[in-house]
Chain A
Amino acid sequence: MLGDLLKKAFSSNKKSNPFHEKSNKEEIQIKEQKIHSDLEYSMTIFKEIYSFPDNKDVKFRTFQIGGLKKQACLISISTITDIKLLDEYAIQPLLRNDNPSFSIENVLAVQALSTVEYNKDAIYEINKGNAVLFIEGYTKAYSITAANFQGRDVSNADNEIVLKGPKEAFTEKAASNISLIRKRIRDENLIVESAVISKRTKNELFIVYIKDLANKQLLDNIKKRVSSLNVDSVQNLALLEQHIEERKLSLFPSILYTERPDRASAFIEDGYIVLLMDNSPDSLVLPATFWSFFHISEDHYLRYIYGNFTRGLRMIAIFITLFSSSIYVGITNYHTEMIPPDLLLAISATREKVPFPAIIEVILMEFAFGLIREGGLRVPTPIGPTIGIVGALILGQAAVQANIVSPIVVIVVALAGVCSFLVSDISMNFAIRIIRFFFILSAGFFGFYGMTAVFTAGLFYIVSIKSFGVPYLSPMTPKYTSSKDTVFRRLLKNEIFRPGYVKPKDMKKT
């Protein structure tokens, strides 16, 4: 299993293509052509391209334009287009018009109208949900913006829950996500650039930043990396994240993934760059440092003392998660003298009947906890409580009574498990949970010596990694001018600097 994993991690797809594929050269050639003035001909082409009438939701509405006395055809995909809008503001005005000298632009009462000249552009517009109007004798077509994709409305954040502060979260519609950001930053310098990042599906990516804040080099770097993708389809940001990150095999995430528009806006206002996409109820923030994974938005919404109190708790929780199990292994195997004798006797009394060495015991319990956690996540809601009962009773109570594990191990592992939930970012959460196993193993081999060795090596690693050129532990080390928002935050009136490591064009916030 492990060998397979390693093979998968280090192999690449650079071998020559062994597949026999059918060439679609002809179709590509047709798509590259300009729009033909012969409406009949154009329609034949488009009907073939869209496999009409097999393709049920592609509609070809042919009619005669009043006044002009010309045949016209409106192509749209009915499931992603606003039919009512098309009918009322495009088809009806054209049909009822009786003025022979008029321009199409003035009759169509729609919000946005553009012209296309090539077949492929027309196809792109249709696929985007717009309707394209072809007219007899015209070598161009009109694209009417009428996209209407189905999706859910803005709802509460599910993963990054706060008690105080806004509750909205991003949804799968990029347009409404951008609207949520614009609602917070009413600035003409807020730029929403778009780029097509995949070849076949033509997924659109939105790059959001403030023009006079975001560092140009960083922006160019991101644009370059995004445009150099060579893939057929990138469905959402979670996949894009893996395409553009620098260290794909690193344990630590280097791009922040947040579903909260308030958080994304706060980052944009600090000079960071945010990526949005359709089908992603979230945003990517880059560059990211260790601290951005450690913080949550509520730290700043709560009053100074309360916010820092939760920060302190969270930092302690990270250490408990990382070290509690391994400290138990280390102490019971190597450093028994450090526990007060009474406690030592109590521990050894409970361990008396347990047949396994401490490290096996701990790994067993950690594994069980991991299973419960993963199982609880995937279980359908109606049978959810079962997991709780099975987990608590069978794996906790019964395992102790059956002398498989000692009660103190249950406490230690459960404590670590509970504490791991304080890190709300899912990537960092995984990183910490995986690192915990390294510490347990090292404690099994070398006690505290091994743990410290792993810790020091890990520290060397974590200071050396970078996210888009930004050191992971900055601004703590190496030092940059910033509001010093690291483990603890400062009073709002003292947070006057944007983070220097992002190299914003304007450093002072006041």
Chain B
Amino acid sequence: MEDSKGKIGIKEFIAIIILTIGTKLTDDTTVILYKQMENAAWMSPFVICAFSILPIFLLIKVMNIYENKNLADVINQLFGRFFGFFTVMILWFLLFSALTIDSAVYTDIISTMYFEKTPVIMIYGLLMLVSAFGAKKGIEHIGSVAWSVIFWIKLSLLAALILTFMQGEILFLFPIFGNGAWEVVKESSLRTSLNAEFLYLGLIFPYLKNKKDYKKGTWIALAIITTELSFSLAAFIMLFDHKGIQLMDFPFHETIRYIEIGFLENIETFFFPFWLIASFIRFAFYLYLTAILFGSLFSIRNFEHLLPIIATLVVFLGIIPENPTFTIFKLRESLLFITTPIFIILPFLLWAAAKLKGEFKNEKAKASD
């Protein structure tokens, strides 16, 4: 009996992307968008999408030259060992910071919105424990789990959004451009790193069953994420208006508290488990990526063994901030700003390096053989 070789198909690939990036609409990312763009925030996903098309396109082009190399290997190959090492180091540092900050945010959500009395370290510990367990199972199983639950998670989100639209006020969306069209474009472009995970997806490129799926899956996922984020942003605005929403930290969770179905007035606990499953999968994937990057930085082959250590480190770093709701929010915003230029420029550099080194010609030569 041949064992499946730890590879994932297109369905699992898309499910992973949607759960890792799409889950952002439930945390304070939305607030970061609302802050400057107010009621026009729902347009920003499209602008961000437009800005990320070119980097993603170039990245796919570069990645497709190599069959079995992940992003880190490609960077090392194109930039040489010295600069390659530094680039991968920076990428790892950004990813690790994102993992720490995001998991701190999610812990904060759970502890402020649902479990006020439970000690934060227990919540954080359990979150990372389950995620590390999932990550240790490997990419194939992260993909399988993501695919088997994505339908239900998205169904619950859809239900929440439909209820929100029904109870919302459409006039809150106007004036349509909020603080002005230029403002929307400018502020969105600064936050393009919302899609920065697409860069890191290059790391799991060798694990795809079919290399064409990488291209196809990425574009499909980008379209889905952009639409759902946009719809959610619009829905939240319609429920709370632009003033109210700026006072909130986690609009999604306020929304599911606010909406009701018939005689059931508090239905947030129906949505909570689905959101949690998505979060577990998201952090499992983040942990896995962090481990891959760290592994390739210091040439550790069995990088799975790093996971418990990384997860523990994340917990202890993540609980340092005394007032997570504000501190982490600031940190997160700064991280987004820092990541944006890297996300946009790195694929360009990679592409240029590949062009200069003549890698594309090699590929064509290979194809024509």
Contact surface of A with B, Cβ cutoff 8 Å: 215, 217-218, 221, 287, 331, 334-335, 337-338, 340, 446-453, 455-457, 459-461, 463-464, 466, 468-471, 473, 476-479, 503
Contact = CB atoms under 8 A, between A and B. Distances in A.
Contact of A456 (B1, B114, B280): B280
B110 interface: yes
A468 B1 contact: yes
A457 B131 CA distance: 8
B277 A455 contact: yes
Contact of A449 (B3, B115, B149, B263): B115
A449 B276 CA distance: 7
Contact of A473 (B129, B144, B270): B144
Contacts of B4: 471, 478
Contact of A476 (B2, B110, B148): B148
A337 B65 CA distance: 56
Which of A217, A453, A477 neighbours the largest number of chain B CB atoms within 10 Å of its CB? Answer: A477
Contact of A334 (B3, B11, B115, B281): B115
Contact of A503 (B2, B110, B144, B265): B2
Contacts of B269: 331, 335, 337-338, 448
Contacts of A331: 269
A335 B271 CA distance: 13
Interface string B141-163: 11111011100000000000000
A338 B114 CA distance: 12
A469 B147 contact: no
Contacts of B145: 456, 459-460, 463
B276 A477 contact: no
Contacts of B174: none
Contacts of A460: 133-134, 137, 141-142, 145, 284
B213 to A, nearest CB: 12
A495 to B, nearest CB: 21
Contact of B126 (A453, A464, A473): A453
B265 A340 contact: yes
Contacts of B118: 446
Contacts of A451: 273
A461 B284 CA distance: 13
A469 B280 contact: no
A338 B267 CA distance: 6
B115 A457 contact: no
B125 to A, nearest CB: 10
A459 B364 CA distance: 43
7 contacts: A218-B1, A337-B269, A340-B263, A448-B272, A451-B273, A473-B144, A477-B144
A446 B124 CA distance: 12
Given A448-B276, A463-B141, 5 more contacts: A217-B1, A287-B1, A334-B114, A477-B143, A477-B147
Interface residues of B, number: 46
B28 interface: no
A456 B126 contact: no
Given A460-B134, A478-B140, A478-B144, A217 B277 contact: no
Given A340-B265, A478-B9, A221 B144 contact: no
Contacts of B147: 477
A287 B1 CA distance: 10
B140 A446 contact: no
A459 B148 CA distance: 9
Contact of B266 (A334, A338, A464, A470): A338
B2 A217 contact: yes
Q: Is the interface of A mostly helix, strand, loop or mixed?
A: helix
Given A450-B126, A452-B273, A456-B130, A337 B1 contact: no
Contacts of A218: 1
B111 to A, nearest CB: 10
Nearest to B147: A477
Contact of B1 (A215, A340, A455, A463): A215
Interface string B1-14: 11110001101100
B268 interface: yes
A218 B3 CA distance: 11
B264 interface: yes
Interface string B258-299: 000001111111101100110011001000000000000000
A217 B123 CA distance: 46
A446 B127 CA distance: 12
B141 A338 contact: no
Given A215-B1, A478-B12, A456 B134 contact: yes
A450 to B, nearest CB: 7
Contacts of A477: 11-12, 143-144, 147-148
Contacts of A448: 114, 269, 272-273, 276
Contacts of B266: 337-338
A258 to B, nearest CB: 21
Contacts of A334: 114-115
B3 A469 contact: yes
Contact of A464 (B12, B127, B137, B148): B137
A399 B8 CA distance: 53
**6 smallest A-B Cβ distances: which pairs?**
A469-B1, A463-B144, A452-B276, A477-B144, A338-B269, A456-B280
B148 A470 contact: no
Of listed A221, A287, A451, A479, residue having the most chain B CB within 10 A:
A479
Contact of A457 (B110, B114, B130, B144): B130
A447 B268 CA distance: 14
Interface in B303-333: none
B1 A338 contact: no
A459 B149 CA distance: 9
Contacts of B264: 338, 340
B349 to A, nearest CB: 36
B134 to A, nearest CB: 5
Contacts of B263: 340
B15 to A, nearest CB: 9
A446 B3 contact: no
B3 A466 contact: yes
Contacts of A470: 1
Contacts of B268: 338
A288 B356 CA distance: 54
A331 to B, nearest CB: 8
Contacts of A446: 115, 118, 122, 126
A453 B265 CA distance: 26
Contacts of B1: 215, 217-218, 221, 287, 468-470, 503
